[in-house]
Structure formats: C-alpha cells, structure tokens
Structure 1
Amino acid sequence: MPDYELVKSGTGGCAGCPSPMGLRIVGKALGPNSIMVMTPSCAVASIGVMPKSCYDVPVLNVCFASAGASAAGVSMSLDAQLKSGELTGEKPTVFTWVGDGGTYDIGFQGISAAAERNDDFIHFCYNNEAYSNTGVQRSGATPKYATTTTTPAGKSAQKKNVPLLMLEQRVAYVATASLAYPQDFYRKVMKAKSIKGFKYIELHAPCGPGWKFASSDTVTLGRLAVKSGAWLLWEGEHGKLTLNTPTKPLAEGKMPLTELEDYLKAQGRFSHVMKSPQKDAVIDEMKAEIRREMDFMLGREKL
C-alpha cells in the first residue's frame, strides 16, 4: 500500500477504534485528491479541536440524515466546475464516511435515493453495530441478542442487511469488508474508485467500548466474525454477486467454520447468553441463521 496517511495525529478516538484504522486504508487507496462527507458519529467526534483536524483531506460535517444528498451535491458541483473549466485536472473522489446509525436508520432514505440516481461517489458505512458515539444504543445493524443501553436484556429482532439491499438496487458496485482482511478492503476501495456511479462499501468495525472487549482485540474480533460466518465477505456489480475468500470456502464447507461461541464469548455484550440456561438453544439458533444466510448468498451468486 502507498505511504500516504489520511489520518494524522490528534484523533480523539478510543484506543483500538476501528474508524481511523479503516480510514487509513481508504486514504491509501483514494489518495489526497479526495473530499470526505461525514455525519454525526464517532469519526466526527474524534476529528480534533477546531480549527484543526486529524484528517488530511477536505471534510464536510453535515446533518445526520443528509449524507447521500450532500455527497451527491458535492459530486455534481465538481462535475459542473470541470465542465465550465473552473476546475481542471482529475475530479476529486467524493466519499462519505458514515456509521451504521447514519446508514441503516437515520440516513437510509438519502443513501437509497443516491443509489437510485447512480450519483457518482463512494458511500462507506463503518458498521460498529450500534450508536456507539451517543451511548451504545441499538441500531438497525445491531445483531439479535446483543445488549445495548436500549436493549439491556438483548435485542429481540434480527439486524437489517443493507449491503444486500444495495445489491438489489443494482448499484454500480457494492462490497463488504473487514479490518482483519486489509488487503481485501484496499482492493475493494481501489475498485470502487475506478468505477463511475454510486458505490457502497460496508466495513465491519468491532467497537471495544460498545461490544465490551479489550482495545487490543479489534482485529481479532473482526477475524473471528468472518471465520465463524457472523460476517460475510462479498462484492457485487450491477446486481451480480461474488463471494470472497474466506467466506466462499467456508460457505461451501471446504473450510471449517470457527466455533461461533468463540466469537460470542469474546464480547461482553453477549455475556448474558453465555450465562443463560438457554445458551445452547440460542447459539444453535444463531448458527442456523448464519447457515441460512450462507445458503441464500450461495444461491444468489448463481443468478
């Protein structure tokens, strides 16, 4: 990867925070000729003290629901400036860096509309599966049975699958990624950069304070998620799906899955499950859901 660093010193993120880890890889792929749009999130809260910023590119901090519309406006403005000659050279890459709350819930309408219009920018969702910045409340991305401050007994509903929704919108490019597989993430960002139109990349982002694990274990949790099948790696172009390694061999039974219990017991947010008399039944239910999703994606890949 290139030496360029988008994230400079001065970030106020928690130790082990996945957001700057992911942004470092994004920066190396996109380079300094980029413009970042952000909504309220951990990444904004840790940006630094005004007038300084820990990010090396222009940043627009917009309201929670407007990531899609704002990024579309920036991209269209650049197109107009290039057409008029006011701006010369290569068009800067416009991208959003938004959490799951701003993607799955509050900002979904604008993001889906931008996808439908095929607006020319990359939307990144760094998915830490909760509203971690405001106190770890449940979001549409919070998995079933996980505790949050608004689901202290464990969430009762299954999480949404926004990457799959983007695939079914036939967007130019959609992918999932993990911090535990940085080369795969880098490749996907580079691919998104090369494609004109709307691109969506969702990064699984384990959060130490929200998930209750040691700050040194962020990447370990990400790897356990992928190897247990709790997080699937794949990409798609205009509705055509491709499963990536190691997800595909895991789904096909060519590689053994890591025990889901190893992933769950590494997080305090599932400690009530580990202590419950119904532990085995709950874990079996989770495994069945993973198997169902894997089988669905294997079938979807053939279409």
Structure 2
Amino acid sequence: MTVRIDLLPKKKYVLPGNSACAGCGMMIGWKILGMALGEEAVLSIPASCASVVQGLGPKSGIGMPVLNVPFASAASVATGISEAFKQLGVKGQAVVWAGDGGTADIGFAAVSAAAERNSDVLYIMYDNEAYMNTGIQRSSETPKGAWTTTTPTGKKEAKKDVALILLAHNVPYVATANIAYPQDFYRKIKRASEIRGFKFIHLFAPCPPGWLFDPSLTVEVARKAVETGVFILWEYDNGELKLNPPSSALVDKKRRKPLVEYLKLQGRYAHLTEDQIRQMEEEIDRKWQFLLRFAQAAKA
C-alpha cells in the first residue's frame, strides 16, 4: 500500500510551542503517530525526552491522551489500558511511546513480559541511541564506536537489536521504521493497529544535540542511515518477514552508499579511525546477512 502525503490527516497532534529541541527526530515521528491514530491512541510514556517536551500542566504541547509513568512500567500500564478498553467496550489503541533507554534497558523486563503475554499493545520505541534527556549517556542501543558523555572514546559494545529479540517472542507484528520515510511509518502504524496482540515498531529518530549535527540535517541523517545500510527497513507480519523499500533494493551491497557519507554528518563519530570504520562496515554486512537468512527461513 502506497500512502500519499497529500491525503494524510491534517489535524495537528504535536502543537507549536512545545519544548522539544530544534530538529528533534522524535517529534517528527510523533506527528506521524498522531496522523495515523489521532484520539484513538492513549499513550503510556516512561521517563524520557517525550515526557518532558509536553510541557507543564494545565497546558500541553501534545494533543493526545498521555499517561506519564515510571521508567520501567510503560508496557505494564499499556497492558492495563488495553484490558480496560476491553472490559468497558471502548474503542481505542493502547500505545507505548518510549525511548531506547526505557525500552531496551530499564523497561525491558516489562516489555518482554507484555510480548510473552501477547498483550494487545502497540509499542513504539523511538530510538535516538542514548539517554538524551539526562545528558547523552550511552544505552544498549548506542552503536559501537559512538561518542556519548559516558563513552568519550566511543562505545565498545555493539548495539542491541531489540526488534529481533521481540520477534523471537513469537508476537504477530514487528517492524522497523525511520522518520525520513513518513509514509512507510504511517502505513506500519495503521497495519499494526489492525492486529490483535503485541506489536512493536523500532523507529529510528536522530538527535541533533546528542549526535552532534546541525538541526537542519535531521532528515538527511536519517535517510543516510538507510541508504548506507546502517538501518534496515523490514517488517514481520504474522509469520512473513520482508524488507521494505528502499532497503529491499539495497540487498546488493554495491547499491548502498559509502558508510562515511552517514558518519561524516555526525560529530559523535569524528574520532573514528579508518580501521574502526572498516570494522563497522563488516558488522553492517553481518547484520544484513543474518536478516536475509532469517527472511528466507520464515518463508520455508
């Protein structure tokens, strides 16, 4: 299904005057979420940038129902909301809107439990690859080699692939998305909302102050992540895993842009040596090979 931008809903759910940083990738994603679900979504948001940019009550920079909850409880709260909808016969979508720290680290036990129960929840992890709200500390989603305030010479460990971990929970829907491809993200939200059970979307959302780039480059940085093969767009829907455009056209490594085109846009990678960049390229190749084998196995 191709989604035309001019046919997307025009009502704004991310309002002018919110306190997000200039060029915030998360807020681009939040706008698309509003277009896709509107008032049907009730958001469970743990401690994160998202819980701050709403502003102070009684005013709010977000025109959607929001529950701000403790770091580790977002998936559990969303499960309760979903069960309440069922008991009351109310139409709605319980949504977790959480960062990588609240998902892959502090909140992961509750996320895994909700997936194991197959709770009727749509969980969206907007991934800015560090704890940005508290000072740019590394998370398990911070890529290997990236600078943060707690990894000043570059993170030594590889990035955790939460989407694949949750796919292994045998849930009905898992996907990746990227703020540079809004129609793809919109379509995946709509598809996920049609499915009963646990749904997970990993949203790539660059952070200008945390990744050290000019705020005007947010979409370009996000797009380069896909074009260079760093971030792969894929979708697992009830047993079938497939790559989505433009990643589906990049299976041939020769069609991907050089990794340095992505790295050079960000100050957090300025310290890398040629050997470290070569190691990153090899790691990207291994990820592609693993995902392609997984897709083939899912078809068998």
> Could you say which TM-score interval applies, normalised by the shorter chain?
over 0.9
Unmatched tracts of structure 2, length 5 or more: 1-7
Contact 1:171 / 1:237 at 8 angstroms: preserved in 2?
no
The match for 2:281 is: 287
The match for 1:258 is: 257
1:31 aligned counterpart, secondary structure? helix
**Corresponding position: 1:99 with 2:107:** no
The match for 1:73 is: 80
The match for 1:276 is: none
2:249 aligned counterpart, secondary structure? helix
Contact 1:10 / 1:53 at 8 angstroms: preserved in 2?
no
User: What is the distance in 1 between the residues matched to 2:116 and 2:42?
Assistant: 22
2:57 counterpart (50, 53, 56)? 50
Deviation by residue 1:2-36 (Cα, 9 ceiling, x = unmatched): 11222122310000011211011011111222211
Contact 1:100 / 1:128 at 8 angstroms: preserved in 2?
yes
User: What is the distance in 1 between the residues matched to 2:252 and 2:296?
Assistant: 13
The equivalences for 1:163-242 within 5 A come to 163-242=163-242
Letter in 2 for 1:39: P
User: What is the distance in 2 between the residues matched to 1:132 and 1:62?
Assistant: 18
- Quote the offset at 1:239 in angstroms: 4.3
User: What is the distance in 1 between the residues matched to 2:82 and 2:169?
Assistant: 20
Letter in 2 for 1:67: A
Task: Provide runs of 4+ in structure 1 moved above 6 Å.
Answer: none
The match for 2:116 is: 116
Letter in 2 for 1:156: K
User: What is the distance in 1 between the residues matched to 2:18 and 2:170?
Assistant: 36
Deviation by residue 1:81-113 (Cα, 9 ceiling, x = unmatched): 11xxxx5xxx11110110000000000000111
Deviation by residue 1:119-146 (Cα, 9 ceiling, x = unmatched): 1110010000000000000000000010
Contact 2:38 / 2:64 at 8 angstroms: preserved in 1?
no
The match for 2:26 is: 19
The match for 2:3 is: none
- Give the TM-score normalised by structure 1: 0.93
User: What is the distance in 2 between the residues matched to 1:238 and 1:167?
Assistant: 10
1:31 counterpart (35, 38, 55)? 38
**Corresponding position: 1:297 with 2:291:** yes
> Aligned-residue CA RMSD in angstroms?
1.1
The match for 2:10 is: 3
Contact 1:171 / 1:239 at 8 angstroms: preserved in 2?
no
1:224 aligned counterpart, secondary structure? helix
The match for 1:63 is: 70
User: What is the distance in 1 between the residues matched to 2:205 and 2:274?
Assistant: 27
The 10-residue stretch of structure 1 (131-140 or 44-53) with the greater mean CA deviation from structure 2: 44-53
Contact 2:26 / 2:206 at 8 angstroms: preserved in 1?
no
1:40 counterpart (11, 29, 47)? 47
The 10-residue stretch of structure 1 (237-246 or 134-143) with the greater mean CA deviation from structure 2: 237-246
- Give the TM-score normalised by structure 2: 0.94
Deviation by residue 1:22-66 (Cα, 9 ceiling, x = unmatched): 011011111222211101111111111211111112110000000
Aligned pairs, how many? 290
User: What is the distance in 2 between the residues matched to 1:57 and 1:261?
Assistant: 39
User: What is the distance in 2 between the residues matched to 1:298 and 1:248?
Assistant: 10
